[in-house]
Amino acid sequence: MAFIIAIFVFFLDQLSKYLILQNLKLRESIPVVDNIFHLTLVYNKGAAFGIFQNGINIFIIAALIAIGVIIFDITGSKRKDKDLFYNLALGLVLGGILGNLFDRIYLGYVIDFLDFRIWPVFNVADSAITIGALLLGYLILRKDAKAKA
C-alpha cells in the first residue's frame, strides 16, 4: 500500500508542477485568497526553505539513501504491512522525496508554488514529506508510550 500512496503523491506533485509551469512565469504570483494564499512560481536550488543553495549533489545522494531506507523498511517487515497509518506515512514521505528528486535530477532545482506569505514557498511533495514525517513521528512516539506502559 505504501508504494501505491507514493506513486499517487509523485504523480499529483508532478501534475501540479506541470500545471503551474503552464500558467505562471518565474516569480509571478496570483492571489487565491488575497494576502493569505497565493500561487507563486519559484525555483528552489536548495533544501527546505531554500537553505544550502547549490548543494544539489548532496540532496540527490541524501534522497537516494532515504529512498533505500524506506524501501527496505516497507519490504522488510510483515507487521508493518498491516499498519495502515505506518504505510500511509512511509508512502507520503517516499512519494514526496521522489517528486523533489525528479525535479533536482531533470531540472537542477525544485519547483515550488504554494505561497502562504508567512512561510517559504513550497510544493505538494514538501507537504507530503512533512505530513508523512509528522505521522511517522507520532506513530513512533505512540509505540514507545505503549511499550513503557
Sequence-distant (6+) residues with CB within 8 A of 34 are none
- 8 A C-beta contact, residue 20 and residue 39: yes
The residues that are catalytic are 112, 126
Q: Give alpha helix (H) positions in 24-123.
A: 56-76, 78-81, 84-107
Question: What DSSP state is assigned to residue 36?
Answer: T
d(CA 48, CA 42): 13
